């Protein structure tokens, strides 16, 4: 396992991507899903080698990415993709839109499960469909998929379901039994399931990620999975993701997508992702260890400085979902936190139903930055409590 820790602040502030460029220098950025860690050495090496040989053209139709991913999936999740179709595209969002266009008609309804990754709302609209919200439910053991609600949505005419697995912003992992039930319901009502699994490589030790397509034979027959190295290895700007199908009908749907869907893959993204899946697991495990340590730290800081802020510790990823309703800061605590503490979090209101009073924090940073951010937030006086 490679030791992975945050780059120094002066190096981070020289970055020009969204996380460190969006806000003035007095703001601590803990919002968008970028990590503050340096690139994994295998990725750095292949990119420099490509530049040295001027290898900056289009992605070749025959390239090693699919094989590299299938090997990684087998080692990491015991997921046998021997007979799967694995195609690349620019990013997971593009893959979702193109598959939705292929499996829905204009005006069809698509189920999503808020609070959930905000672009899902826009992706459904971009595909020409409309959103049906089926919010997560609290079962007593924490939030879970509302299987009864999904059955109602499917019976009411939803033609597709965009599943978030692991679920962003909660870092929630869905069980094999839940996913198998989703597949049964989808089969019963002729619904296609599109599973966004981008955070899967960041599953924490002791937790188990179940790929949707591995949950059951039925899941393979009606589902698609979207994967990318972008979140786990911090290479979102290189534009590369994978669309996976195992059943005959989903495979034929992928085969029928316009050729431009795969041509949009970034050459550097393909090279970097291949290196990540083939040689980047040591770095990944180091990053996961640093993220776990910061989640431990966040819980300690929360208990000490913000005891009225609750959370559910994520099982995957470096994003944590914080309940600020006990602070009395209204529907959008992130706005007050940015203004008064100069800390940027992701507003919970953007995640749909259940997001009011919440905010998402990114812990893939240095322990020092995380500590300073929590202390700044804690210095804001509580507001009036809701009646």
Cα gap 352→119, rounded to integer Å: 10
**Together in a domain, 95 and 217:** yes
Do residues 57 and 190 share a domain? yes
pLDDT of residue 190: 97
Per-residue pLDDT at 2 exceeds 70: yes
Residue 42's pLDDT is what? 98
pTM confidence score: 0.96
- Is residue 81 a part of any domain in this protein? yes
pLDDT in tens, 282-324: 999 999 999 999 999 999 999 999 999 999 999 999 999 999 9
Given this model, what pLDDT does residue 161 score? Answer: 98
Task: Decide which of 279, 314, 343 is a domain's last residue.
Answer: 279
Interatomic CA distance for residues 130 and 127, integer angstroms = 9
What is the percentage of the chain residues whose pLDDT exceeds 70?
99
Task: State the CATH number of the domain containing residue 356.
Answer: 3.90.1150.10
Assigned domain for 168 exists: yes
Residues 120 and 221 in one domain: yes
Q: Is residue 386 part of a domain?
A: no
Cβ-in-10-Å burial (0-12, 13-18, 19+) of 133 comes to middle
Residue (of 257, 198, 188) closest to 227 by Cα position = 198
* Domain count across the chain: 2
**Domain residues for 32?**
9-39+281-378
* Confidence check: pLDDT of 157 > 70: yes
* Whether residue 306 sits in one domain with residue 213: no
Distance CA 321, CA 311 (A): 6
242 and 343 housed in the same domain: no
pLDDT band at 387 (very low <50, low <70, confident <90, very high): very low
Asked whether the predicted pLDDT for residue 385 surpasses 80, the reply is: no
pLDDT tens-digit series, residues 14-62: 999 999 999 999 999 999 999 999 999 999 999 999 999 999 999 999 9
pLDDT of amino acid 142: 87
The residue written with tokens 């008064």 in the block is 340
Residues 228 and 357 in one domain: no
pLDDT tens, 165-216? 999 999 999 999 999 999 999 999 999 999 999 999 999 999 999 999 999 9
Same domain, 285 and 168: no
What pairing do the DSSP bridges indicate for beta strands 223-227 and 109-112? unpaired
Q: Please indicate, yes or no, if residue 34 is contained in any of the structural domains.
A: yes
- The span from the CA of 200 to the CA of 165, in Å, is 7
CATH number at residue 192: 3.40.640.10
Helix/strand/coil for 361: strand
Task: Examine the pLDDT at 386 and tell me if it is beyond 70.
Answer: no
**Tens digits of per-residue pLDDT, 86-142?**
999 999 999 999 999 999 999 999 999 999 999 999 999 999 999 999 999 998 888
| In a shared domain, residues 230 and 367 | no
283-308 core/surface letters (b: 16 or more CB in 10 A; e: else): bbebbbbbbbebbeebeebbeeebee
Instruction: Report strand pairing: 192-196 vs 223-227.
Output: parallel
Last residue of one domain, picked from the residues 279, 301, 321:
279
> What are the pLDDT digits (tens) for 238-257?
999 999 999 999 999 999 99
Considering 279, 302, 319, which residue would you say is the last residue of a domain? 279
Q: Does 59 lie in the same domain as 35?
A: no
């Amino acid at each position: 396992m490679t030791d992975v820790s945050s780059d120094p602040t002066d190096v981070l502030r020289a970055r020009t991507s969204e996380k460190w460029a969006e806000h003035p220098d007095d703001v601590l950025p803990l919002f968008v899903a970028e990590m503050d860690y340096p690139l994994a050495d295998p990725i750095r090496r292949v990119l420099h080698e490509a530049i040295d040989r001027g290898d900056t053209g289009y992605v070749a139709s025959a390239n090693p990415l699919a094989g590299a991913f299938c090997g990684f999936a087998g080692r990491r999740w015991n997921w046998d993709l021997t007979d799967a179709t694995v195609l690349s595209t620019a990013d997971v969002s593009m893959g979702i839109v193109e598959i939705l266009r292929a499996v829905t008609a204009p005006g069809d309804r698509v189920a999503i499960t808020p609070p959930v990754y905000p672009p899902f709302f826009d992706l459904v609209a971009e595909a020409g469909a409309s959103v049906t919200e089926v919010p997560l439910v609290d079962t007593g053991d924490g939030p879970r998929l509302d299987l009864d609600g999904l059955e109602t949505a499917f019976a009411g005419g939803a033609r597709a379901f965009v599943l978030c697995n692991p679920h962003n912003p909660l870092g929630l992992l869905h069980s094999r039994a839940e996913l198998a039930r989703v597949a049964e319901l989808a089969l019963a009502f002729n619904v296609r399931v599109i599973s966004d699994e981008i955070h899967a490589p960041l599953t924490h030790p002791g937790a188990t990620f179940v790929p949707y397509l591995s949950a059951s034979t039925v899941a393979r027959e009606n589902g698609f999975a979207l994967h990318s190295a972008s979140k786990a290895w911090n290479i979102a700007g290189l534009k590369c993701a994978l669309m996976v199908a195992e059943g005959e009908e989903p495979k034929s749907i992928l085969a029928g997508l316009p050729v431009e869907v795969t041509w949009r893959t970034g050459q550097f993204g393909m090279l970097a992702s291949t290196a990540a899946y083939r040689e980047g697991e040591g770095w990944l495990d180091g990053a996961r260890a640093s993220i776990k340590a910061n989640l431990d730290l966040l819980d300690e800081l929360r208990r000490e400085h913000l005891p009225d802020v609750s959370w559910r510790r994520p099982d995957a990823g470096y994003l944590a979902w914080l309940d600020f309703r006990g602070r009395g800061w209204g529907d959008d605590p992130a706005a007050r936190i940015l203004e008064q503490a100069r800390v940027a979090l992701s507003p919970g209101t953007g995640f749909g139903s259940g997001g009011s009073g919440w905010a998402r924090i990114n812990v893939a940073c240095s322990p020092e930055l995380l500590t300073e951010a929590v202390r700044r937030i804690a210095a804001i006086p509580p507001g009036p409590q809701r009646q």
